[in-house]
Amino acid sequence: MRFLFLTTGSHVTVYAMTALAHAVRNAGHEVLVATNEPLIDAVETVGLPGVSITSASIRRFLATVDSPHEMVVTGRGLGRMAAATLAGLSELAQDWRPDVIVGSSMSYAAGLLAAARDVPFVRHIEYLRIPMAEIDPVAAEELAPELSRRGLGGLPKPDLVVDVSPPSLRSSPAADVHPMRYVATNPQRRLQRWAYTRPPGRSRVLITSGTHHRMLAGRSLRRLAAQLTAVGAEVVIAAPTRVAEEFGATAEDVRIGWIPLDTVAPTCDLAVHHGGATTTMAVIAAGVPQVITPPNTHTRAIADALSNFGAAVTARAPHQADHELADVLAAHSRELLADHRYARQAQALAAELAALPTPADVVRRMETLTATR
């Protein structure tokens, strides 16, 4: 069988769907991942065959937004983006005829293409607290002309919804949702021994703000690291090269650079970050408590869900100077390292994820979809 994966929004959607795409290939099926030009490098990095569907019309659309991340939180933008990709996707589906189409949660073109091809449509909910109930109606309104031309009264309903959220944090425990274990995926690097072993006799704190958000400037990042090493912790800062260069020389108990979270997170006792979906899910899967300083509405929803469960603390500091935020994060970090209740709750969430069906289990479920058509 042929499975066409469609991703939209940010690198998060690519990394979140990678485990399922690899499981499909490992089951002996063919896979293609179709995405927009800004994300094609992520597809290549995780070892999947990728096709860019960026056309002249979608390039014009991308030029109207400040960042691709803007499209993740606006149904109107996502609807426009879906409309702009339909022609390219239809041509792709003529050249490479899919038997099943798997779309990321906000890839509205996936459902439209599946309806046009009369093949099963799988919607992949790739991270926590996506406000689909708010975004879907706006996207449907924006897509009204495309829906009307295809004789559709609304957005096509998926044949299967896959959700990687821990059950305790799921926004809506709908009966038609098929849970799947989250498998952390990210670009890799050659590993040194410290990256997969715990430091003997001391705690380790992971600090990261992903690849797009800047949580702290260099001097304030050093301030946070210094306060953590002062209480005996080793500090690991996962950061792009430009941030590592700005940080400068490190002490023996501070490491900074590109660090694969899937390997390093399980060796840590605490993670301090901005609440990005990929980071959060990787840390949840590792069973590590979190200090989160969320920069926007969606990351605040993620942070609040974890904090309410007792596996994290939310540091709300939108108007504080960087050095003040560093002090707040350091204080929360010391609190969580000293209070083992947070670690117990984090480990409970990790156990929930580990008990969910594997991507291979979900592949077997998807294989049955074509028999019902």
Say how far apart CA 258 and CA 276 lie, in whole Å.
16
Q: How confident is the model at residue 282, as a pLDDT?
A: 95
Give CA–CA dist 97/370, Å, rounded: 14
* Structure-model confidence comparison of residues 360 and 318, the more confident one: 360
Give the helix/strand (H/E) hosting 238.
strand 234-238
Most confidently modeled range among 132-136, 141-145, 185-189 = 141-145
Q: What's the pTM?
A: 0.89
Look at residue 228 and tell me whether its pLDDT is greater than 70. yes
More confident residue, 3 or 322: 3
Give me the pLDDT at residue 62, please: 56
For the segment 280-291, the average pLDDT, to the nearest whole number, is 96
In the chain the domains, ranked by start, together with CATH numbers, are: 2-182+356-372 (3.40.50.2000), 193-353 (3.40.50.2000)
| pLDDT exceeds cutoff 80 at 153 | yes
Report the first-to-last Cα separation within the chain, whole angstroms: 15
Average pLDDT over residues 120-127: 92
pLDDT tens-digit map of 62-94? 555 554 444 445 678 888 888 888 989 999 999
In this model, does residue 271 exceed pLDDT 80? yes
In this prediction, residue 216 has a pLDDT band, given cuts at 50, 70 and 90, of confident
Average pLDDT over residues 38-63: 78
Segment 332-346 shows an average pLDDT of 97
Q: Which of 362, 361, 350, 360 is nearest to 167 (CA)?
A: 350
CA distance 129 to 367: 28
Q: How far apart are CA 105 and CA 172, in angstroms?
A: 14
The residue ranking higher by pLDDT, 217 or 187, is 187
Q: What is the pLDDT of residue 197?
A: 94
For residue 109, pLDDT beyond 50: yes
**Distance between CA atoms of residues 144 and 129, nearest Å:** 26
- pLDDT given for residue 68 in this prediction: 46
Residue 58 pLDDT greater than 60, yes or no: no
